[in-house]
Amino acid sequence: MLVLTRKAGEGIVIGDDITIKIIELKGGGVRIGIEAPKDRKIYRQELYDKITQENLEASQWDITDLDAISLNLSSGKTKK
């Protein structure tokens, strides 16, 4: 991990297309601004972690669930 010290108004550049600027230091928090192409997804770490965990949980399935779905489809029963 690269650790840098920056003051308000200073920034860092990542690659050719991402700039991070320190906007304000206030009450133990840091406000940052990020300039990046619109097609780049930018998430707060805690949200990214939650999305990743939910995707992992959604990808887990049990064979009994698959059997139940298969049975319902073959008998023409579907929930509406």
Residues 33 and 50 in one domain: no
pLDDT > 60? residue 78: no
pTM above 0.75, yes or no: no
How many domains does the chain fold into? 2
- Domain span at 49: 43-80
Question: From residue 36, how far is each of 5, 16, 60, 65 by CA, in Å?
Answer: 21, 10, 34, 42
Q: What is the mean pLDDT of residues 33-58?
A: 94
Give the residue from 29, 12, 28, 8 showing the smallest Cα distance to 20.
12
**Token pair for 8:** 């308000």
pLDDT > 60? residue 32: yes
Q: Which residues contact 17 (CB under 8 A, 6 or more apart)?
A: 36, 37, 40
Which pLDDT band, with edges at 50, 70 and 90, does 22 fall under?
very high
pLDDT > 60? residue 39: yes
Residues 34 and 55 in one domain: no
pLDDT > 90 in the chain, percent? 68
